[in-house]
Amino acid sequence: MIPQGNTLLLRLEGPFQAWGNNSKFIIRRTMGAPTKSGVLGLICCAMGVRRENSREELQKLNGKLAMGVRIDRPGTRWWDYHTVGAKYGILQAAGGIKKNDKTKKPETLVTRREYLCDASFLVVLQGDPSEIELVRRALENPVWPVFLGRKSCPPSMPIVARPARNEDWTNPMDCRDLVTALETVPWHPRLPDDRPPTELQCLLEWRPSDDQPTAPSNTEVWYDRAVVFGGASQEARLVQRKAVTLTAGKALQERTSPPQRARANYRNKQFRDARACRLKSDHGLCVFCKAPATTVQHITYRNAGGNESQDDLRSLCRLCHDAVTMIEYGLGMGLDRINPEDLRWRDRIIQKRSEILNWRSEERRRRALREAPEKVRNELLEQEGE
């Protein structure tokens, strides 16, 4: 059985990206797709790992996480120039730094830098579920702002890829390999008249296995396995190119109506009977907080409409039900929803419950102030201001 959540999907998209590899100080080129050192640098930034402390973290991430990249839009290569001060200066052929004839200060050094404009990449990280969860949490709540290769390249959308409401996949997800994950996620058009490609080019990290102990002849060597940040410390990594065809998201890509699916019918007698049986089997208690249960939650809608089984439902109190539903809508989940008994959702549900309670308390306070006599309202406001 494949462990849950072994694959994390990242969407790297923005006006500019730059993924340097074997660049020189004056001329800095970019690779045509995200490098592993760049992606791990983004993750370390989100985790708050400093350059001088990055060696140990990079060793762990390089070993535990395999990476694949799908080139959804390759973008356009574009050059810009930057001036560099800090007394770097321009070296003279005779030695020393060239100085301005008038100011006698070092001449400003001009560097050329290459970027990818309007590119979009789907990056897949696969490894141990516990490590995947740590990376996901860091990227969703970064310690420092994250960038697409260079500090001048902010992302234009959340790094952790989110499915649309009519897409039947979750993030993290369970996949046998990198190719399966890259084939599963739909291609998203940028403009209304964009036509879906028949296939997409991918870059897959190759690792030796029992079935394939030696690398194929078409394997490329990328020097993007970072050892430590802050210096030119890059080791070799083997990468294979592969064209994949998508197995999901056809309805979205071809602009056709989404297929009909089963929906909950709360007036249906079969559903009411299933609801009553579930509440009875849970002894009338919320499966999450053990408060009196007032409703049931669908953890899957695959049998909705009157064919629900006991395993499709969970008893919840109104607060937990609202918290779970808000999380589901925020993630744009499809047929399969949140099981509140699953421990990986525990912290999120607790946090969302607290947010709801705080909001309700604040709303009660506002309502009380609105309904109170003017004199009492002014006294309360003065007390709060003290």
pLDDT in tens, 330-372: 887 778 899 999 998 999 999 999 999 888 887 777 777 677 6
Task: Give the ranges where 236-300 is alpha helix by DSSP (H).
Answer: 250-253, 269-281
- Range(s) of the chain covered by CATH 3.30.70.2660: 7-253
- How far apart (Å, rounded) are the C-alpha atoms in residues 182 and 64? 19
Average pLDDT over residues 153-163: 92
Look at residue 91 in the predicted model and tell me its pLDDT.
Answer: 65
- How far apart (Å, rounded) are the C-alpha atoms in residues 333 and 327? 9
Q: What is the mean pLDDT of the chain?
A: 84
Higher local confidence (pLDDT), 299 or 25: 299
Tell me the whole-structure pTM to 2 decimals.
Answer: 0.61
Q: For domain 7-253, give the CATH number.
A: 3.30.70.2660
2 pLDDT more than 50:
no
146 pLDDT more than 90:
yes
- How far apart (Å, rounded) are the C-alpha atoms in residues 108 and 172? 47
Look at residue 378 in the predicted model and tell me its pLDDT.
Answer: 67
With beta carbons less than 8 A apart as the criterion, state whether 299 and 338 touch.
yes
Q: Which CATH number fits domain 269-362: 3.40.462, 3.30.110, 3.40.1800, 3.30.2410?
A: 3.40.1800
Instruction: Assign 106 a pLDDT band (cuts: 50, 70, 90).
Output: confident
- The highest-confidence range among 99-103, 164-168, 187-191, by mean pLDDT, is 187-191
What b/e sequence results for 13-51 when a residue is b if at least 16 CB atoms lie within 10 Å of its CB, and e otherwise? bbbbbbbbbebeeeebbbbbbbbbbbbbbbbbbbbebee
- The string of pLDDT tens digits covering residues 267-280 is 889 999 999 999 99
Instruction: Assign 245 a pLDDT band (cuts: 50, 70, 90).
Output: confident
Q: What's the sign of the alpha-carbon dihedral 114, 118, 119, 124?
A: positive
Average pLDDT over residues 286-309: 91
What is the greatest pairwise CA distance in the chain?
92
- The highest-confidence range among 61-75, 84-98, 99-113, 188-202, by mean pLDDT, is 61-75
- How far apart (Å, rounded) are the C-alpha atoms in residues 340 and 240? 40
Look at residue 319 in the predicted model and tell me its pLDDT.
Answer: 93
Percent of the chain with pLDDT over 70: 85
Number of helices and strands in the chain (H, E) = 9, 10
Look at residue 174 in the predicted model and tell me its pLDDT.
Answer: 86
Give the Cβ contact number of residue 175 at 10 Å.
Answer: 19
Give the Cβ contact number of residue 342 at 10 Å.
Answer: 11
Higher local confidence (pLDDT), 316 or 84: 316
Please tell me what DSSP assigns to residue 343. G
Instruction: Assign 257 a pLDDT band (cuts: 50, 70, 90).
Output: very low
Look at residue 383 in the predicted model and tell me its pLDDT.
Answer: 62
With beta carbons less than 8 A apart as the criterion, state whether 185 and 249 touch.
yes
- Range(s) of the chain covered by CATH 3.40.1800: 269-362
Binning the chain into helix, strand and coil, the percentages to the nearest 5 are 30, 25, 45
What b/e sequence results for 323-335 when a residue is b if at least 16 CB atoms lie within 10 Å of its CB, and e otherwise? bbbbbbeebebbe
Average pLDDT over residues 18-26: 76
With beta carbons less than 8 A apart as the criterion, state whether 55 and 146 touch.
no
Please tell me what DSSP assigns to residue 63. H
